[in-house]
Chain A
Amino acid sequence: MTANGKNNKPEQQAFSGSEWLRYTRHIQLPQIGAQGQQALKQSHVVVIGCGGLGSPVLLYLAAAGIGHITLVDGDTVDLTNLQRQILFGMDDIAQPKATAAKQRLSQLNPEITLDAVNEPLSLNNAESLIAPADLVLDCTDNFATRYLINDVCATLKKPWVFASIHQFSGQCSLFTPGDGHACFRCLFPEMPTGVADCNTAGVLGVLPGMLGMFQANEAIKFLAGLPTPLNNKLLLVEAIDLTFRQIQLTQSSDCIVCQQHKSADELDDFYSAACASNESDPLEVSAGYFESIKNNEEVLLLDVRTHAERSAFHMNGIHIPLSDLEGTISKLSKNKTIVCYCQSGTRSLKAAKQLKRLGFTCHSLKGGLATWLKSVR
């Protein structure tokens, strides 16, 4: 009813009673208020990656009342994820991450719209997934996808929040294409090689929590019209000694995206070249095959991990750390088939290649102990 009572149509209201109550503590903040909360409610955010960074990002964005969230992840939940991916529990193991995350978030906040996309971001789906977004959050774990997000966001002029982590170190930034600021390619023009991910290098469990929270903080402030100091700045974080720096970025004068306006379609080869390392080497054997031959008499298991890793868990056989292999090769008999193993399959493949050159019959356990342990669970 309007004040003069002439119109019987119900007055429009921004929030239901339950929403109003749920978001009280935001609305009480003078910097957010009902207006800022309404801006969050009307926002559509696409979160790419529902892992270590995606967990805190999604929990806080859903709790904050972002009206529409699209969750993109082609992976399934694994026991090794639970050390840091706080969205998930034991019941979620082997479930698709995006669907499991959606279930958890809809319990947290049934007032919002959640779309789960159980596939990785790719050249085929990137543009259609990102086009409706007001803001994109990069919670992925690999460079190829980060460049794809950068390039598609540059073409579509979509702001995006980047974060990445390594062991005890993290980085975070807000990129806003079209405003003359730096993009991700201005910062890292060439695809870095030899940079370890969490699966091979390890990561402190709270680190993605810290960085994901910085991402969520910039995202919520950006959508509510509050200051976003990480725009055109790169935050560097060291969790060991709590060193923080904010590095001012500058647009590169020869960036292929900012200056030459190359689109993701034109850069197709770039993303596929980055993923080529997923192919199998002929020396590699699957976890299932490994399980079937590991007790054969003519097979010798060779653990090439460090002493510390060996003493924490092993599967018998013999132990020669990769770094000592060259000097110890005389210990090994050529009468047996040597099957090398390590944590993730990288070091064991190096060892197997080294042994093969010297005339040994050998294999490497693909995916390492991590994959084998999952397959026999």
Chain B
Amino acid sequence: MINVVLFASVREKAGCDSLEVECANCTIKELKQQLMAQGEQWQQALQGNILAAVDQEMVVDSFILKDHCEVAFFPPVTGG
């Protein structure tokens, strides 16, 4: 199991704060695709400039996920 935590507009658009998915040994890109296949709200949540961190370290789309890791998805925000 992989724990996915969402931040800012990603959680708002996806309609949830966090979730668990079965996705060990796949890449960040494949995890995104798997989530985006769950419906239009996920496509909106993860499209564009969404960044990913695994166990609190920034990673690129080709990063391969290990079981029990935590993936955080977050967008740029700009208010002040």
Q: Which residues of A contact B (CB under 8 A)?
A: 49, 51-54, 138-143, 146, 163-167, 169-171, 187-188, 190, 192-198, 201, 203, 208, 234, 236, 238, 240-241, 243, 245-250
Interface contact A247-B56, CB-CB below 8 Å: yes
Interface contact A248-B76, CB-CB below 8 Å: no
14 contacts between A and B (CB under 8 A): A49-B80, A51-B80, A164-B77, A165-B80, A169-B8, A169-B77, A195-B77, A196-B79, A198-B80, A203-B79, A236-B8, A240-B17, A247-B53, A248-B56
For A236, list chain B residues within 8 Å (CB): 7-8, 72, 74
Q: State the CA gap A166–B51 with chains docked (Å).
A: 16
Of B17, B48, B51, B76, most A-chain CB atoms within 10 Å? B76
Q: State the CA gap A371–B75 with chains docked (Å).
A: 29
**How many chain B residues touch A (Cβ–Cβ < 8 Å)?**
22
Given A53-B80, A164-B77, A195-B77, decide whether A246 and B9 contact each other with a Cβ distance below 8 A: no
Q: Which residue in chain A gives the minimum CB-CB distance to B76?
A: A192
Interface contact B58-A250, CB-CB below 8 Å: yes
Chain A at the B interface: mostly helix, strand, loop or mixed?
A: mixed
Interface contact A248-B77, CB-CB below 8 Å: no
What is the minimal beta-carbon distance from B60 to any residue of chain A, in angstroms?
10
Residue from B5, B49, B72, B79 within 8 A of A164 (CB atoms): B79
| Interface residues as binary, B48-77 with A (CB distance below 8 Å gives 1, 0 otherwise) | 110101001110000000000000101111
Interface contact B57-A247, CB-CB below 8 Å: yes
Q: State the CA gap A171–B10 with chains docked (Å).
A: 14
